[in-house]
Amino acid sequence: MTDFRELHSGSFVMPNAWDAGSAVVLAEAGFPALATTSAGIAFSLGAGDHTVPDGAPTVPLEVMFERIHQITQAVGVPVNGDLEDGYGASPDDVARTIRRARDAGLAGGNIEDYDGRALYDEQLSVERIVAAREAAGPDFVLTARTDGQLLDGLVPLADSIRRANLFREAGADCLYVPGVNDLEQLRTLVAEIDGPLNVVLGLGSSKLTVADVVGAGVTRVSLGGSIARSALGFVRRAAEELREHGTMTFADQQIPQGELNQLFARYAARPSR
């Protein structure tokens, strides 16, 4: 299997899967690594993700890790886990989640500094990354994510850069500042953050391409829940066509059942890692 840490010495694309089937299809396309998407997993279970309305259902840790384990077992490429905020505020909570991530077969994982309502205190955020690094061991690729740029301009870019560099000093291998969709700002992140940078494509109305962000010096390109949201968009369009017109032109885009059977059988028969 490809060494996940070594991939970060260059540039690569890491699309996000939400179940074993989507993971196999993405791995078959030739990507060197995959990631999970907490959004895609949540949506597939009829639940919300990240900033959700009060009282809305979210995915319990046990259920999320069951799906993560299914994804890591389905493919032979490294999988990076979307571990949200570490499923708890304290450094001990984060350390426990990282140990569980390793047990689930993940090669790496992201820890956010956002609890669904606000950013964690900066010092506590650093302590959480220190605890994550200690729990991760030498092989697990730890990504520290700071969500300030997702908060409607409330956090200056310089503050997110400072947090990212503090997280790097605390032991993070890769840094992640979602919500920056301007190419010049991405170049600023690459220049001022001391470590490999992950950028997510597909958030908001940005039309940036892989070539754009890699050309700006970005190490790792992920897609978050974009493919999962697009798949649900396809389901809605198919439903509307069927209800309003009684036609099934959407079926022209399906993968034939025999092809899927062969694909899944081939992956199921591969040597275990």
Question: Domain-by-domain residue ranges, the chain?
Answer: 4-225
Residue 152: pLDDT band by 50, 70, 90 thresholds?
confident
pLDDT of residue 208: 92
Superfamily of domain 4-225: Phosphoenolpyruvate-binding domains (3.20.20.60)
Mean pLDDT across the chain: 94
CA 246 to each of CA 188, 223, 231, 249: distance values in angstroms, whole numbers, following the listed order: 51, 33, 21, 10
Q: Is 42 helix (H, G, I), strand (E, B) or coil?
A: helix
User: What predicted TM-score, i.e. pTM, was given to this entire model?
Assistant: 0.94
Specify whether the CB–CB gap between 58 and 28 falls below 8 A: no
Lowest mean pLDDT of 121-135, 150-164, 181-195, name the range.
Answer: 150-164
Is residue 59 scored above 80 in pLDDT? Answer: yes
Q: Which two tokens stand for residue 19?
A: 């179940």
Residue-level pLDDT at 114: 94
Lowest mean pLDDT among 31-35, 52-56, 143-147: 52-56
pLDDT of 203 reads: 81
Q: Which residues lie closer than 8 Å to 232 by C-beta, 6 or more apart? A: 43
Q: Which positions ≥6 away from 29 have C-beta within 8 Å?
A: none
Q: Greatest CA separation found in the chain?
A: 59
User: Which residues, 6+ apart, have CB-to-CB distance to 268 below 8 Å?
Assistant: none
Residue 171 has pLDDT above 60, yes or no: yes
